[in-house]
Chains A and B, each alone.
Chain A
């Protein structure tokens, strides 16, 4: 089967590998500690570990897009900001 049309590149491959690793890690964590530690935080609805991971990845995407729109700086800053934001989500949501 010819897969050249998928046009894989290293950075995108790394991105997806990291994503798969994250999901697998969450799966293993969930397997040993089921339930996902639900709690009601800053967002006012119940979130589990998985929700928090999803929210941080999604908001990282939006932070990067906003960065592209409103600044001309390097995207690494946006990444740093996303990580700070992710930590915030993990602790407060």
Chain B
């Protein structure tokens, strides 16, 4: 679409900018200030230079949390994306069943995040939970509060439970948008199911899938509430993701300076990923308008 150049359009954007800036820029400036100072409360601050950044960069605590974040994001992407596509492919294209399926599938998305944690706590505790109790009585040595691997499996299962539906809904909407003519052509050519998927459905889903992957990556990268409720970051520090560590530092120990320094580094990583996200999406839009706007 050809847009006209008009700087008066700024006036329509000003309220958004003001509202978001109030909650984004003022806190961010404050965080930068905190990151270079130490405090003992009462709004008294002492300049400490880059001490907090040195602590952060030279200890393993931050990098361990970062590694956990990356590992977690990779695992859930590797599970949720193929699973989501598979489920979307198996959904019928129309009929009352689809509506029922979609409503039921969307349900986990609307549950408050700490309740998601609670649900999985109630579900997988070995004393009161269906999953925990069943596994233990089957002879497995399962205990997500003590065993690192069990904790990870439970958190991954929780995330798959919580968010796969998003991938399903996105892929499904991409699939529905494919005109029936493509399938008829494939049938006439005698294309196999795999060939149809590989050469018709997958390319047509590329747009929504890119967005699904990037969104799931971003959201899993900032995960906080669900594992916080479920494991509290334990056993040990094995499920302490960056957000959890940050909040522990800031609110739990009230170490404003180190927490602020960590916030900034975290924010820089997010900015980098977000920039990649934005570039990919805008280039995709551009490519689409060039090829005749197949939305």
A residues with CB within 8 A of B? 4-9, 11-12, 15-16, 34, 45-46, 54-55, 58, 61-62, 65, 68-69, 75
B interface: dominant SS = helix
Say yes or no: B57 contacts A11, CB within 8 Å.
Answer: no
Say yes or no: B57 contacts A69, CB within 8 Å.
Answer: yes
B residues with CB within 8 A of A? 5, 26, 29-30, 32-34, 36-37, 39, 43, 45, 47, 50, 53-54, 57-58, 265, 268, 271-272, 275, 279, 283
Say yes or no: A7 contacts B275, CB within 8 Å.
Answer: no
Interchain CB contact (< 8 A) of A65 among B26, B37, B53: B53
**In the bound complex, what is the Cα–Cα distance between A55 and B279 (angstroms)?**
12
Say yes or no: B268 contacts A7, CB within 8 Å.
Answer: no
Interchain CB contact (< 8 A) of A9 among B33, B54, B265: B33
The interface residues of chain B lying within 8 Å CB-to-CB of A45 are: 279, 283
With known contacts A46-B283, A58-B268, A65-B265, A9–B50 Cβ distance under 8 A: no
The interface residues of chain A lying within 8 Å CB-to-CB of B36 are: 9, 11-12
With known contacts A9-B47, A58-B275, A68–B54 Cβ distance under 8 A: yes
Number of A-B contacts (CB under 8 A): 53
B161 CB to closest chain A CB, in angstroms? 35
B34 CB to closest chain A CB, in angstroms? 6
Say yes or no: A8 contacts B33, CB within 8 Å.
Answer: yes
The interface residues of chain B lying within 8 Å CB-to-CB of A55 are: 275
Say yes or no: A6 contacts B53, CB within 8 Å.
Answer: no
A57 CB to closest chain B CB, in angstroms? 10
The interface residues of chain A lying within 8 Å CB-to-CB of B32 are: 12, 15-16
**In the bound complex, what is the Cα–Cα distance between A5 and B34 (angstroms)?**
10
Say yes or no: B57 contacts A75, CB within 8 Å.
Answer: no
The interface residues of chain B lying within 8 Å CB-to-CB of A68 are: 50, 53-54, 57-58
**In the bound complex, what is the Cα–Cα distance between A61 and B5 (angstroms)?**
34
Say yes or no: A7 contacts B43, CB within 8 Å.
Answer: yes
The interface residues of chain B lying within 8 Å CB-to-CB of A65 are: 53, 57, 265, 268
A7 CB to closest chain B CB, in angstroms? 4
**In the bound complex, what is the Cα–Cα distance between A61 and B50 (angstroms)?**
13
Minimum CB distance partner of A2 in chain B: B43
B87 CB to closest chain A CB, in angstroms? 33
**In the bound complex, what is the Cα–Cα distance between A9 and B271 (angstroms)?**
24
Say yes or no: B5 contacts A34, CB within 8 Å.
Answer: yes
**In the bound complex, what is the Cα–Cα distance between A64 and B128 (angstroms)?**
50
The interface residues of chain B lying within 8 Å CB-to-CB of A9 are: 33, 36-37, 45, 47
Minimum CB distance partner of B58 in chain A: A69
A35 CB to closest chain B CB, in angstroms? 10
The interface residues of chain A lying within 8 Å CB-to-CB of B37 are: 7, 9
The interface residues of chain B lying within 8 Å CB-to-CB of A5 are: 30, 43
Q: Which 6 A-B pairs have the closest CB atoms?
A: A69-B57, A7-B33, A7-B45, A68-B57, A6-B30, A4-B43
**In the bound complex, what is the Cα–Cα distance between A18 and B211 (angstroms)?**
35
Minimum CB distance partner of A46 in chain B: B283
Minimum CB distance partner of B37 in chain A: A7
**In the bound complex, what is the Cα–Cα distance between A7 and B46 (angstroms)?**
9
B59 CB to closest chain A CB, in angstroms? 10
The interface residues of chain B lying within 8 Å CB-to-CB of A69 are: 57-58
The interface residues of chain A lying within 8 Å CB-to-CB of B39 are: 7
Minimum CB distance partner of A6 in chain B: B30
